Chains A and B, each alone.
Chain A
């Protein structure tokens, strides 16, 4: 059995997800007595994967591979999968990895399970547990094909350091021309993104208007968190669409989700429920979010949040 992971980078550095994939793959490999290979593109520190159990690191370093392209990247990954005699490919749940997943499933003739939250069990083929119905249920699913693709849900396994000896191969691919030409990229400032964040601070209609969003932003800043919002807030144009989280917006599976002035409608909760710890701040003790949260404050955001920001600053200054 051979396991290949696609270790994504941002500006050459591995994303945290990549180390999580490596940790996950290492554990499967050690149970099965096999080894882990990683493929990455233009990584500046490929060797760092050896701290998480990767035995072989294939760093594709053509200049043309700097920008993500679904066709070219999926060609490189499927070629490597075949060359390395792999039969399990592990992807993260980032936008780019999800973009690649369906394409690779066809190219590799592989059954593909997304939103996976467990290690595979091999007692009856390859079975996995995954989130489905937008976190309202779990599905135990069996992959019936010889090759498998596992799309691992973020934060479902965590990081486990494991130092191993590894071999690094610098590889050049023959690359065709991209059909889609990226003309420009608009990145939102230097802020933490919802997809990568460990902590997400989210505001709802209870904040009354966009002029009050400094509360959300200041709290996010002390925590190093990303900012998000409920659907009506983005529909009203108070915040950009890209911050809308929930069943029909972005999924959130952070370590900590703080909901301020959000009632906790079923569509909102569905999308954020897989976060580990949830906190709600709301004036209404009957708001449904209190049933879903781990910690709550019944109170006015305009009173509680400034105090929370101040106390967190004190906490951070004594604990750093």
Chain B
């Protein structure tokens, strides 16, 4: 089984978000980058398939050279090979088309992406890849089991979950649940050493036009002071929620 994991390179969850160039670009200065958490769950599940089903695991990122440490980290966790498509990922459809081209040339059985990236929160790349490659798609996938002749998956729906039987090739939008939090792998010394020798292939992008353009970013207005209510006067909170906030 050949697996491709799509890795989005995102600011650490504690990062302060600032913008530069007239608020048209995210300011990367001093920001620590990580593997998108949804992708980390998917990558860990992929490594599990490698250990249990003898799968091969490639990771792919559409991004500039600055994302290579993130790809190296994925290699250190246990992926076999990394691919980077050398273009700044400003438009989800360009990302999806670039990855789809690579998939069409390289035949994967399973493509694992995340439900969404925690930076731009597009939530659209896996669906786009599925439509471009005509591969079955399960979004918000929270469980995935593959054996010789069956693929069983679960997907989160609003207020519950759905169990699905499907077939390979398959693409998922993954998230927490694919593996437990405790199973997430931290690269060890040996993994890091081995990662240095693994292949990191850099490819030129195809020629695609953007569908969206960012005009600018804005930060929310600072919030006003909290209104405190004494613990002995909870009825006052009810009154405020009813009359002032009109929330109950």
Interface pair B17/A137, CB less than 8 Å apart: yes
Q: How many whole Å from A95's CB to the nearest CB in chain B? A: 5
B221-248 vs A, CB cutoff 8 Å, 1 = contact: the mask equals 0010011111100110110111001011
Q: How many whole Å from A74's CB to the nearest CB in chain B? A: 8
Q: How many whole Å from B52's CB to the nearest CB in chain A? A: 22
A114: interface (CB < 8 Å): yes
Chain A contacts with B in 166-204, Cβ cutoff 8 A: 179-188, 191, 193-196, 199
With contacts A102-B124, A277-B245, A298-B228 known, is A195 near B132, CB below 8 A? no
Interface pair B234/A298, CB less than 8 Å apart: no
B193-219 vs A, CB cutoff 8 Å, 1 = contact: the mask equals 000000000000000011111111111
Which of A19-27, A37-45, A305-313 lies at the interface with chain B? A305-313
Interface pair B13/A248, CB less than 8 Å apart: yes
A15-57 vs B, CB cutoff 8 Å, 1 = contact: the mask equals 0000000000000000000000000000000000000000000
Residues in B with CB closer than 8 Å to A187 are 159-160
Residues in B with CB closer than 8 Å to A298 are 228, 231
Q: Which of A143, A181, A188, A266 touches B160 (beta carbons < 8 Å)?
A: A188
Q: How many whole Å from A78's CB to the nearest CB in chain B? A: 10
Residue of B nearest to A193 (CB): B159
Cα(A297)–Cα(B241), bound, Å:
13
Cα(A92)–Cα(B14), bound, Å:
29
Residues in B with CB closer than 8 Å to A80 are none
Interface pair B235/A311, CB less than 8 Å apart: yes
Interface pair A186/B161, CB less than 8 Å apart: yes
Interface pair B219/A235, CB less than 8 Å apart: no
Interface residue tally on A, bucketed by range = 35 or more
Chain A contacts with B in 118-155, Cβ cutoff 8 A: 127, 131-145
With contacts A142-B213, A267-B14 known, is A186 near B163, CB below 8 A? yes
Which of A82-90, A205-213, A239-247 lies at the interface with chain B? A239-247
Interface pair A141/B218, CB less than 8 Å apart: no
Which of B43-51, B69-77, B81-89, B115-123 lies at the interface with chain A? B115-123
Q: Which of A144, A180, A194 touches B213 (beta carbons < 8 Å)?
A: A144
A290: interface (CB < 8 Å): yes
Cα(A270)–Cα(B238), bound, Å:
26
Residues in A with CB closer than 8 Å to B166 are 179-181
Cα(A185)–Cα(B118), bound, Å:
28
A100: interface (CB < 8 Å): yes
B131: interface (CB < 8 Å): yes
With contacts A105-B93, A140-B215, A297-B237 known, is A196 near B128, CB below 8 A? no
Interface pair A308/B226, CB less than 8 Å apart: no
A215: interface (CB < 8 Å): no
A223: interface (CB < 8 Å): yes
Cα(A276)–Cα(B247), bound, Å:
9
* A-B residue pair count with CB separations less than 8 angstroms: 256
Q: How many whole Å from B179's CB to the nearest CB in chain A? A: 11
A6: interface (CB < 8 Å): no
A70: interface (CB < 8 Å): yes
A13: interface (CB < 8 Å): no
B136: interface (CB < 8 Å): yes
B78: interface (CB < 8 Å): no
B62-102 vs A, CB cutoff 8 Å, 1 = contact: the mask equals 00000000000000000000000000000011001000000
B9: interface (CB < 8 Å): no
Q: Which of B96, B138, B211 touches A180 (beta carbons < 8 Å)?
A: B138
B21: interface (CB < 8 Å): no
Interface pair B163/A248, CB less than 8 Å apart: no
Cα(A145)–Cα(B212), bound, Å:
8
A260: interface (CB < 8 Å): no
Chain A contacts with B in 231-258, Cβ cutoff 8 A: 235, 241-242, 244, 247-249, 255-256
Interface pair B118/A256, CB less than 8 Å apart: no
B165: interface (CB < 8 Å): yes
B174: interface (CB < 8 Å): no
Interface pair B121/A131, CB less than 8 Å apart: yes
Interface pair A144/B164, CB less than 8 Å apart: no
Residues in A with CB closer than 8 Å to B231 are 297-300, 303-304, 307
B30: interface (CB < 8 Å): no
Interface centre among B26, B164, B234, B238, by most A CB within 10 Å?
A: B234
Interface pair A144/B165, CB less than 8 Å apart: no
Interface pair A102/B142, CB less than 8 Å apart: no
Residues in A with CB closer than 8 Å to B122 are 114
Given contacts A133-B26, A140-B217, A195-B159, could you give 10 more A-B pairs where the C-beta distance is less than 8 Å?
A95-B157, A106-B131, A127-B215, A133-B121, A139-B218, A143-B212, A185-B157, A241-B176, A295-B240, A315-B242
Interface set of B (CB-CB < 8 Å, partner A):
11, 13-14, 17, 19, 26, 37-38, 92-93, 96, 118-128, 130-132, 136-140, 142, 152, 156-167, 173, 176-177, 181-182, 209-220, 223, 226-231, 234-235, 237-238, 240-242, 245, 247-248
- Of the A-B pairs whose beta carbons lie under 8 Å apart in the complex, a sample of 19, sorted by A's number, is A70-B137, A95-B156, A103-B131, A111-B93, A112-B124, A135-B220, A138-B220, A185-B157, A193-B159, A248-B37, A277-B247, A291-B226, A295-B237, A295-B241, A297-B229, A297-B237, A299-B231, A311-B234, A315-B242
